[in-house]
């Protein structure tokens, strides 16, 4: 009964027009033919096929006409119940116009074109590997075209369809497949990674897949594993994506540098838990996987933690406490010295305002100085060149390193492109790192020579190490620090300094800690394959934390505290030229380093330090370099704050 009803409905729908008046039917047919000719003769359709139309056709074609010949191959009832059932045969076979010519096989219809109805799918399919490489038609996958039902979004159907051509033993063993079979429709099947109709050419390149494919697949993984709501439904977390993006692989990937993506380590189809011996990330298979990018590694290298969660104290205690230590170090130093800087600025600014208000242009101590504009040498040419090289290398390291520290910042790619691209920036960073390491070793040699052989600064090693010209802290520095604190809060006069102040010594000693921390960690990161020959891979994780945070501390300290102490303090604003010209004014010498001035004056050594006033060109170049450095430093701070806040 059901079969007869379905067929009756199908034939009834297609035959309704017979009940109309014959003249009316002819009139409508003529109108239909005119519109048909105009529509299909337009340029957009003429390029696809040429249609010959018999304008003498007396009536439209019905399914019943088609089934007279094709009834043995097509089940009319099943077709009527399919998704295409409401359409007449000629809605797909549009070029069958002359029924008699067709039945006599004079007119052979062309292949069916699905694009008029399925425009989006057809457009996507034009770039598909199935079309460009295999020249497949829609019918290759939709072979049961006359009986297709409405897709219920079942992913099992996709697996069955794809595996009819593609062998998927690996996928069938994976967690994705098992989840699908358990009824989890959120798990990934072929189309989630490769697309349904837009399967790109590089998807079929196998192991030799391109960088474009690597990025595409990584994004495909992120689409699900980065979706917190979706992961929560499946009792999973987004920690894999979050931790990957914080690694070196993830950060440089964001900047457009080829780096290991998800499929490089986890594979494409056989994605299994790391406890499974067949898993690509099982401990027995890691060396092989890592060797695809890192040649010549040993088992130590595989101890590197690819997805470290630095906030997980139980699972990664060493990484967790390293991060905590570096955070406390950074915060304590910056907060302490920012407080010191603020108190100094308040006192110096208020004092300067008082002097201006009272009409005092210079300190009363300097009123009776003879020739206050005389200059004395403070820094030798060697020292100034050394400092100048430090400026350039430090800025270069900051500009090439910060984009990797903050790859999501809007300015990161712009800064790298300005430098010459991500690869160029990484190369430049390493070159500058080598230069600054050489500078540090030269400085160590200078310090050793000072301590062991510089008789001018003391007769014995003890005198040289604990004397006025030593960088080492001594009791006088503590006394100066206490006196400075009292002066900040109006509880006493400012201290009288010698050749080096306590805050200048801190700057120098910070270089030792900073270069040891940044230098050693940088070397470990530079050649991880060599590093792992001697130490386990997880040390590289620790080195990255130290390198990143210590570099941020150095930048923050230099561009705030050091800039203020030497340039921005109100008594020196806008800039102190001494480190560029090498000279210090007589009034400045007496005001800031009175103990050294008095000692040199008494020992008759002061006159030996007197030099000519810097020439105009020297002052101009010093100002340009100095002011440019200050502006770039402050701009760098703006970039850092921008990255952290936004």
CATH of the domain at 624: 1.20.950.20
Give me the number of domains the chain comprises.
3
With a cut of 50, say whether residue 209 has pLDDT above it: yes
As given in the structure block, the two tokens for residue 415 are 């800064």
**128 within a domain of the structure (yes/no):** no
Same domain, 279 and 407: no
Same domain, 576 and 518: yes
With a cut of 90, say whether residue 85 has pLDDT above it: no
Contacts with 308 (C-beta within 8 Å, 6 or more apart), sequence order: 243, 246, 247, 316, 319, 541
Same domain, 94 and 163: no
Same domain, 388 and 455: yes
Q: What is the pLDDT of residue 314?
A: 95
**Cα separations in angstroms, 513 against 34, 325, 397, 554:** 88, 14, 17, 10
Same domain, 109 and 170: no
Cβ count near 222 (within 10 Å): 17
Task: Return the CA Rg of the chain.
Answer: 40
Same domain, 9 and 89: yes
What is the distance between the alpha carbons of residues 581 and 617, in angstroms, rounded to a whole number? Answer: 11
User: Which of 12-21, 139-148, 307-316 has the lowest average pLDDT?
Assistant: 12-21
Q: Which of residues 248, 264, 293 is at a domain's end?
A: 293
**302 within a domain of the structure (yes/no):** no
Q: Which of residues 116, 143, 170 is at a domain's end?
A: 116
Sign of CA dihedral 158, 164, 165, 167: positive
Same domain, 479 and 553: yes
C-alpha 329: how far from chain center: 26
Q: What is the pLDDT of residue 428?
A: 95
Same domain, 164 and 53: no
CB 308 within 8 A of CB 543: no
Query: What is the 3 state secondary structure string of 542-591?
Result: HHHHHHHHHHHHHHHHHHHHHHHHHHHCCCCCCCCCHHHHCEEEHHHHHH
What is the distance between the alpha carbons of residues 596 and 499, in angstroms, rounded to a whole number? Answer: 6
Sign of CA dihedral 173, 174, 178, 181: negative
CA angle 361, 362, 364 (to 5 degrees): 120
List pLDDT tens digits, range 156-170. Answer: 888 888 888 887 777
Same domain, 488 and 610: yes
List pLDDT tens digits, range 517-528. Answer: 999 999 999 999
Taking the model in full, what pTM does it have? 0.81
Same domain, 106 and 155: no
List pLDDT tens digits, range 49-80. Answer: 444 444 445 567 777 888 888 888 888 888 88
Over residues 546-558, the mean pLDDT reads 97
What is the distance between the alpha carbons of residues 307 and 304, in angstroms, rounded to a whole number? Answer: 9
As given in the structure block, the two tokens for residue 413 are 């790619």
Same domain, 99 and 201: no
Angle, helices 422-453 vs 381-405, to 10°: value is 140
Helices (H), 2-108: 2-15, 22-40, 43-46, 63-70, 76-80, 99-103
Q: What is the pLDDT of residue 131?
A: 85
Range of the domain at 109: 2-116
List pLDDT tens digits, range 387-425. Answer: 999 999 999 999 999 999 999 999 999 998 888 888 889
As given in the structure block, the two tokens for residue 401 are 């390193």
What is the distance between the alpha carbons of residues 144 and 152, in angstroms, rounded to a whole number? Answer: 16
Q: Which of residues 116, 137, 171 is at a domain's end?
A: 116
**192 within a domain of the structure (yes/no):** yes
User: Which of 169-178, 299-308, 406-415 has the lowest average pLDDT?
Assistant: 169-178
Q: What is the pLDDT of residue 204?
A: 46
Bigger pLDDT: 545 vs 207: 545
As given in the structure block, the two tokens for residue 248 are 């070196």
List pLDDT tens digits, range 267-298. Answer: 888 888 889 998 999 999 999 999 998 999 99
Cβ count near 162 (within 10 Å): 18
**325 within a domain of the structure (yes/no):** no
Q: What is the pLDDT of residue 55?
A: 46
Q: What is the pLDDT of residue 369?
A: 82
**15 within a domain of the structure (yes/no):** yes
**366 within a domain of the structure (yes/no):** no
**121 within a domain of the structure (yes/no):** no
Taking 3-state DSSP, the helix, strand and coil percentages for the chain, each rounded to the nearest 5, stand at 65, 0, 35
Same domain, 173 and 49: no
**620 within a domain of the structure (yes/no):** yes
List pLDDT tens digits, range 355-364. Answer: 778 877 666 6
Residue with tokens 């116009």: 97
């Amino acid at each position: 009964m059901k079969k007869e009803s379905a067929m009756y409905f199908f034939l009834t729908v297609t035959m309704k027009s017979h009940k109309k008046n014959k003249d009316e039917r002819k009139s409508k047919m003529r109108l239909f033919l005119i519109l048909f000719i105009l529509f299909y003769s337009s340029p957009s359709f003429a390029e696809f096929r040429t249609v010959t139309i018999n304008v003498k056709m007396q009536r439209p074609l019905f399914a019943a006409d088609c089934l007279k010949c094709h009834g043995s191959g097509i089940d009319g009832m099943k077709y009527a119940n399919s998704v295409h059932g409401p359409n007449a045969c000629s809605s797909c076979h549009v070029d069958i116009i002359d029924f008699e010519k067709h039945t006599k096989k004079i007119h052979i219809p062309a292949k069916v074109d699905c694009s008029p109805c399925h425009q989006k799918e057809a457009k996507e399919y034009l770039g598909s590997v199935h079309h460009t490489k295999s020249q497949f038609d829609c019918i290759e996958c939709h072979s049961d075209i006359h009986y297709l039902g409405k897709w219920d979004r079942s992913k099992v159907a996709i697996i069955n369809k794809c595996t009819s051509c593609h062998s998927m033993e690996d996928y069938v063993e994976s967690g994705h497949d098992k989840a699908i079979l358990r009824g989890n429709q959120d798990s990934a099947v072929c189309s989630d990674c490769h697309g349904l109709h837009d399967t790109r050419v590089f998807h079929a390149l196998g192991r030799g897949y391109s960088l474009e494919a690597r990025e595409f697949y990584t994004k495909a993984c992120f689409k699900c594993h980065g979706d917190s709501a979706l992961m929560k439904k499946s009792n999973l977390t987004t920690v894999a994506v979050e931790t990957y993006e914080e690694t070196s692989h993830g950060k440089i990937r964001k900047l457009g540098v080829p780096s290991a993506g998800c499929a490089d380590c986890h594979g494409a189809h056989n994605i299994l838990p790391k406890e499974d011996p067949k898993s690509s990330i099982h401990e027995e298979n890691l060396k092989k996987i890592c060797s695809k990018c890192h040649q010549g590694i040993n088992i130590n290298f595989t101890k590197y933690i690819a997805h470290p969660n630095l906030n997980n104290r139980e699972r990664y205690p060493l990484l967790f406490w390293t991060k905590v230590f570096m955070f406390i170090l950074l915060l304590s130093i910056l907060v302490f010295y920012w407080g010191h800087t603020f108190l100094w600025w308040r006192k110096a600014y208020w004092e300067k305002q008082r002097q201006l208000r009272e009409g005092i242009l210079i300190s009363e101590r300097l009123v009776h100085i003879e020739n206050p504009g005389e200059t004395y040498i403070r820094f030798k040419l060697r020292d100034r060149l050394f400092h100048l090289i430090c400026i350039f290398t430090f800025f270069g390291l900051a500009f090439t390193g910060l984009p990797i520290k903050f790859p999501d910042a809007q300015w990161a790619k712009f800064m790298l492109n300005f430098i010459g691209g991500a690869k160029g920036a990484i190369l430049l960073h390493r070159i500058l790192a080598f230069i600054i390491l050489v500078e540090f070793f030269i400085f160590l040699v200078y310090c050793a020579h000072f301590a062991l052989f510089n008789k001018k600064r003391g007769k014995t090693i003890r005198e040289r190490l604990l004397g006025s010209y030593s960088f080492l802290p001594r009791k006088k520095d503590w006394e100066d620090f206490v006196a400075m604190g009292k002066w900040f809060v109006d509880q006493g006069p400012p201290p009288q300094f010698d050749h080096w102040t306590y805050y200048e010594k801190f700057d120098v000693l910070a270089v030792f800690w900073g270069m040891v921390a940044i230098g050693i960690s940088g070397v470990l990161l530079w050649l991880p394959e060599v590093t792992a020959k001697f130490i386990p891979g997880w040390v590289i994780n620790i080195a990255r934390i130290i390198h990143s945070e210590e570099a941020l501390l150095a930048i923050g300290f230099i561009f705030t505290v050091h800039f203020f102490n030497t340039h921005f303090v109100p008594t020196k604003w806008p800039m102190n030229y001494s480190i560029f010209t090498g000279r210090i004014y007589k009034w400045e010498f007496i005001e800031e380093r009175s103990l050294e001035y008095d000692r040199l004056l008494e020992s008759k050594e002061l006159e030996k330090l007197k030099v000519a006033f810097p020439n105009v060109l020297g002052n101009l170049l010093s100002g340009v370099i100095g002011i440019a450095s200050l502006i770039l430093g402050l701009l760098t701070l703006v970039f850092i704050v921008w990255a952290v806040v936004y």
